């Protein structure tokens, strides 16, 4: 991709929010960040694809990205943009609105592709929701991340995270204060790992099913990066949130190791 015209720079409000996010995470947990984002990709164009396990994930990933010198624009649900104060901050920070379940959802992909073309780093959750797999492994992904990569030609870096579910409950704001108080006392470890760029060679965007094949590779890469973050929880998590439903209808079948 030709990036000579790359002009987007993270606004001061977003850089400040990253510093604040690091402080928020430090107040309730211990953050461990591993892996690297190649220096030549830190200012974009780049797609970061992360698993989604908790409402606290955006704060955690904002802090972790700062540790790696990345200021991504986040593809976030339209509800956040409609919220007082928060919505204005999201818009000023340059994040991308996604109105799920509406005819406008396709516009978000166009907006994200244009943002990457302008030199941005975009953070997406391929699952499209907080995952409901009983073992909290990544679900079968939506194809948006793959279609974004095809549209802008940017590399995709998988990001795996583990531990944020021990801080903020699934049904927040219900139980939020209790969860935060428990986290302050217990100081859970939150781990984030930036993996190697996903290998999408051999996937021709012009062939039928290409977006699905690329999506499966992206989710496989996230899963591979997640494995070492939870070595003593290979099947089910130790921390069980009683308010979190489970859904096996979108279970992801991980490809066998090469």
List, in sequence order, the alpha helices (H) in 3-84. Answer: 12-28, 57-67, 78-82
CA dist 141 and 252 (Å) reads 8
Examine residue 74 and state whether it is found in any structural domain, yes or no. Answer: yes
Query: 85-119: per-residue pLDDT in tens?
Result: 778 888 888 888 887 766 666 788 888 888 888 88
Tell me what the mean pLDDT of segment 192-215 comes to: 95
Residue 210: CB atoms within 10 Å: 17
Examine residue 69 and state whether it is found in any structural domain, yes or no. Answer: yes
Instruction: Quote the pLDDT of residue 67.
Output: 96
Number of domains in the chain: 1
Examine residue 86 and state whether it is found in any structural domain, yes or no. Answer: yes
Supply the CATH number for residue 98's domain.
Answer: 3.40.1130.10
Confidence band, pLDDT 50/70/90 cuts, at residue 28: very high
pTM: 0.91
Euclidean distance between the first and the last CA atom of the chain, given in angstroms as a whole number:
29
Average pLDDT of every residue of the chain: 90
CA dist 188 and 238 (Å) reads 12
Instruction: Quote the pLDDT of residue 153.
Output: 87
């Amino acid at each position: 991709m030709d990036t000579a015209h790359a002009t987007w720079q993270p606004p001061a409000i977003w850089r400040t929010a990253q510093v604040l996010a690091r402080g928020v995470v430090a107040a309730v947990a211990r953050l461990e960040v591993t892996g690297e984002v190649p220096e030549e990709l830190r200012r974009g164009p780049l797609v970061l694809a992360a698993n989604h396990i908790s409402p606290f994930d955006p704060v955690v990933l904002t802090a972790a990205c700062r540790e790696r010198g990345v200021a991504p624009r986040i593809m976030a649900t339209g509800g956040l943009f409609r919220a007082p104060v928060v919505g204005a901050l999201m818009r000023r920070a340059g994040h991308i609105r996604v109105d799920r379940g509406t005819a406008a959802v396709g516009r978000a992909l166009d907006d994200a592709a244009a943002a990457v073309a302008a030199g941005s780093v975009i953070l997406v959750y391929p699952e499209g929701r907080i995952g409901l797999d009983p073992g909290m492994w990544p679900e079968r992904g939506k194809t948006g991340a793959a279609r974004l990569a095809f549209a802008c030609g940017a590399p995709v870096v998988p990001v795996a995270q583990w531990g944020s579910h021990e801080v903020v409950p699934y049904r927040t704001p219900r139980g939020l204060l209790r969860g935060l108080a428990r986290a302050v006392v217990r100081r859970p470890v939150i781990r984030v790992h930036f993996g190697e760029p996903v290998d999408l060679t051999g996937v021709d965007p012009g062939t039928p099913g290409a977006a699905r094949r690329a999506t499966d590779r992206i989710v496989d890469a996230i899963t591979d990066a997640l494995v070492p973050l939870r070595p003593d929880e290979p099947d089910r998590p130790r921390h069980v949130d009683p308010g979190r439903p489970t859904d096996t209808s979108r279970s992801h079948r991980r490809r066998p190791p090469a």
